[in-house]
Amino acid sequence: MAVADRPGARSVPVVPVASGHSIPVLGLGTSHQGGYSHTAVVHALQKCGIRHIDTAKRYGCESLLQRAIRESAVKREDLWITTKLWHSDCGYESTKKACLESCERLGVEYLGLCKSIGVSNFLISHLEQLKEDCVITPHVNQVEYHPFQRPQELVDYCRRRDIVFEGYCPLAKGEALTHPTIIQLAKKYGRTPAQICIRWSIQNGIVTIPKSTKVERIEENCKVFDFTIAEDDVEILNGMHDGRHVSWDPSFIVFLILI
């Protein structure tokens, strides 16, 4: 894991991607639920050293992010921006058109069109199907990941195939913040439950993208690189996996690959 040198901002470690680029291990998530805060995004970029933003066409905030990125004055080449297309955009020409439209809304020339490509919510069965139908292996797989949902078999599968595993919902949509074990560990380390969850995820080698629209929460979520959770405590958190989904369960989804 390398550290990106960004004068004037906190340094966030990065990990290499098979495309030849590097992705920051901590990013800022956005979504179609829970609102959007221009101030929070600008603060994350200007004050917290965040250089990784996750969004999607479906979230409806790509144009809003363009304004925030412009106001932050962070250079495009210093940013890792992820957006996701909708299933209706399948097919080469439709996908290319949708990607160009996302670039226009975000105010960027590339995401890449396309520097790195990935998938979201793909389980082993879906990745195996993709392997049969496509030539290029995804560079990233973005999947729900938190103490209650730790799909280690999938993580191991991705690592063997040089696919970066990226975890969303690291706080289990708040459910993890009230768990007695996590609260106890937070007290032990003098941290917040959110910081324990995020640090645990990063220590497990997961690119982690917590979401918040509150400046103070973003500040809190970013202060996770000046402490380490002991291995025995990591194992305690690892043992909390119960298969719970707080987003949605893609287990029974069949993906149709059109090429």
The DSSP result for the chain, as a single string, is: -EE---TTS---EEEE-TTS-EEESB-EE--SSS---HHHHHHHHHTS---EEE--GGGT-HHHHHHHHHHHT--GGG-EEE----GGG-SHHHHHHHHHHHHHHHT-S-S-SSSS-EEES--HHHHHHHHHH-SSPPSEEEEE-BTTB--HHHHHHHHHTT-EEEEE-TTGGGGGGG-HHHHHHHHHHT--HHHHHHHHHHHTT-EE--B-S-HHHHHHHH--SS----HHHHHHHHTT-----SS--GGG--PPP--
Q: Which residues participate in catalysis according to the annotation? A: 59
